[in-house]
Amino acid sequence: MKIAVLGGGNGGMTMAAHIALMGHEVRIYDKYSRVLEGFAEKRQIHLDGVLGKDVAQLATVSTELSEVVSDVDMVMVVTPAFAHEELARKMASLLRKDTIVVLHPGRTGGALEFSRILHSLARESCPPIAEAQTLLYACRRTGLEEAMVYGLKRRVDFAVLPASATGRVAEKLCPLFSQFKPVANVLETSLLNVGAIFHPAPTIMNSAWIEMTKGNFEHYRQGISPSVALVLEKIDGERIGVAKALGVHTITTVQWLQDVYGVTEENLYSAIQANKVYSGIKAASSLDTRYISEDVPMSLVPLAHLGKLARVETPTIDAIIELASVIHKTDYRLEGRTLEKMGLDHCPIAELGNFVA
């Protein structure tokens, strides 16, 4: 297949190399030439880690979106979720109707927002939009043309908007990644957004520790102390409450840690302590971090807005959004993924199932 990978960061580089090594023709895009320049000339990425050590040859490395996404079978979007809106606008006229777009991950409402924009700009040729529940890889760019894969998730849920296109997408996507499992619809992937649980609250609840030490402590094992874990469990409960009220199947984050990492513990604090994959992961080096700038507007805000739709209160989620907004001097409740941006502002709860079907 011809496959476009959008985003040249840790995840994008890794996915581009991984897919190229399977024998597909891979084109990679990033908005910023400085991100690509390390491997733009030779178009090679040296991959190392749990996927083996090998050199992947890419077909195209470009900052021109049209050179990358035109006429491909699949577009893998591996950017921060706050880039989805702009990418959707720019891609609208470039996509074939049978191209499959996959967001790795969508955070909350990624496919909904992406699809709303494509429909508004190119109603006749709108492709199905898939969203993964999380990124497959634990990985880091380790050099100009090198990426290291530390681990793979055992299982990655994905869903497609419209859900009726799930079979067609699965046919092409699952052969690439055996970990990918289709679920009912994009509400299920969007509501099982564990980044919303793991990222913003532990960052904000350790603000000065981050600023005083440049994040020189472990985000999970140290930053999620017993009291921080209580707050995360409360946020998780609010997320589950919203899902229930909307009639969407979901699981606890503790259960997710068991499904994805094989950790069997009863509460979130113990499960995080027991998860060896989290060992050594450093906290953000400053509060200018995607743990806030991506996970608040693209995860907590849409969860809070879905709560409004469901008439479920989300006071702890709201508290984290408020503190993030003060720290970043940005009204994330307005700037983030609102019901309007997800195309749900005129959708009654009873119609939600049909809307994503």
Measured between alpha carbons, how far is 115 from 137 in angstroms, rounded to an integer? 25
Residues 167, 171, 173, 175: is their CA dihedral positive or negative? positive
Minimal distance, residue 209 CB to a second copy, in Å: 4
Q: In this structure, which amino acid lies at residue 238?
A: E
- CB–CB of 357/185 below 8 Å? yes
* Amino acid present at 256: W
300/25 Cα distance (integer angstroms): 36
Q: Which is nearer to a second copy, 30 or 295 (CB)?
A: 295
Smallest distance, Å, CB 204 to a second copy? Answer: 7
**Residue 229 CB, nearest distance to a second copy (Å)?**
9
DSSP state of 330: S
Which of 84, 104, 199, 305 is the catalytic position? 199
Report in angstroms how near the CB of residue 138 gets to a second copy at its nearest.
22
Nearer to a second copy by Cβ, of 146 and 294: the residue is 294
Pairs from 260-263 (Cβ < 8 Å, separation ≥ 24)? 260/134, 260/153, 260/154, 260/155, 261/153, 261/154, 262/154
Smallest distance, Å, CB 300 to a second copy?
12
Residue (177 or 269) nearer to a second copy, CB: 269
Q: Name the pairing type of β-strands 25-29 and 2-6.
A: parallel
Least distance in angstroms from the C-beta of 208 to a second copy: 4
Q: Toward a second copy, which CB reaches closer, 56 or 228?
A: 228
The nearer residue to a second copy, 119 or 328, going by C-beta atoms, is 328
- Determine whether 295 is an active site residue: yes
- Asked if residue 115 lies in contact with residue 129, where contact means CB atoms within 8 angstroms, the answer is yes
197: number of Cβ within 10 Å: 28
CA distance 330 to 324: 8
Residues that bind a second copy (CB under 8 A): 202, 204-212, 217, 222-228, 230-231, 234, 287, 315-316, 318-320, 322-323, 326-327, 329
**Would you say 100 and 31 are in contact if contact means Cβ atoms under 8 Å apart?**
no
CB atoms closer than 10 angstroms to residue 330: 16
Location of structure tokens 């890889």: 137
- Does 249 participate in catalysis according to the annotation? no
Selection from 214, 242, 232, 210 nearest residue 295 by Cα: 232
- Looking at beta carbons only, is 206 or 250 nearer to a second copy? 206
Catalytic residues: 199, 295
